[in-house]
Amino acid sequence: MIRKSTRFRFASTQYGVNHGLIGMLLALFIVLSHMPVVAEARILIVGDSWAQGVWVGGLMDQPLREEGFEDAVAVGEACALGGTRADQWVRPEYRQKIQQTLEAHPAVDMAHLIIGGNDVLRRIKETNVFEAWTEEKRTREWDAVARNFQRIVDFCLDMPQVRHVGLAGYDYLNSVTANEVFAIRPGVPFWRHDPVPGQRMLYRA
């Protein structure tokens, strides 16, 4: 009787341990399934104030989430710098910013470039290039900007972890999205016309 009772108690205990283990695994699964997704930097934003606006406003992260990439975010704190030009980003001290950011975020495999606007503005700000410059000079100037842009692209692609480089132009922000991001007060005009014909710049009251 003692032996039978001992076996019964052992069987009951053994069954209880298995049941508890299953319960713990189930609880762990429920906890993990409800944990927020930890996003990882996958895109490096490089460029001027337009790039900085995209970075600071999280305008890259929002479409990533909307497309189901909740575990991916952009990074640009050190490389999306207002006022910078393409002819600066080819210099060693600026290239180092790109390299150091990539080293700090080894999962980044794409660079998103918004560069060149300030190079153009620097040339046309005080000069009507269509009157003061010949066509040949305009071509040389624009080609110089393009060459620097290409050098930045090549530098990024030479980084082993970078598989893609995206090039962005200077389109206009969607006013609804921009109003939300920059919290502009109702009734305050979002766009102002700049002295440069055809250019419109973001403005905050």
Other C-beta atoms within 10 Å of 152: how many?
Answer: 25
Banded model confidence at residue 200, pLDDT cuts 50, 70, 90 = very low
Q: Which of 7-16, 89-98, 113-122 has the lowest mean pLDDT?
A: 7-16
Treating both helix axes as pointing N-terminal to C-terminal, what angle do 117-124 and 135-158 enclose, rounded to 10 degrees? 160
Q: Which residues contact 78 (CB under 8 A, 6 or more apart)?
A: 97, 100, 101
3-state secondary structure of 119: helix
Domain residue spans of the chain: 1-35, 40-171
Tokens of 16: 């209880």
Q: Which of 103-112, 130-139, 174-183, 187-196 has the lowest mean pLDDT?
A: 187-196
Question: What is the pTM for the complete model shown?
Answer: 0.67
- Residue 8 pLDDT exceeds 50: no
Question: Do 169 and 193 touch, CB atoms closer than 8 A?
Answer: no
For 124-176, what is each residue's pLDDT tens digit?
888 899 999 999 999 999 999 999 999 999 999 999 999 999 998 876 655 56
pLDDT given for residue 66 in this prediction: 87
pLDDT given for residue 45 in this prediction: 96
How deeply is 163 buried, as exposed, middle or buried, from its count of CB atoms within 10 A (0-12, 13-18, 19+)? exposed
- Eight-class DSSP state of 126: S
For 15-70, what is each residue's pLDDT tens digit?
444 556 555 656 555 544 444 556 799 999 999 999 998 898 888 888 888 888 88
Question: What is the third-level CATH fold of 40-171?
Answer: Rossmann fold (3.40.50)
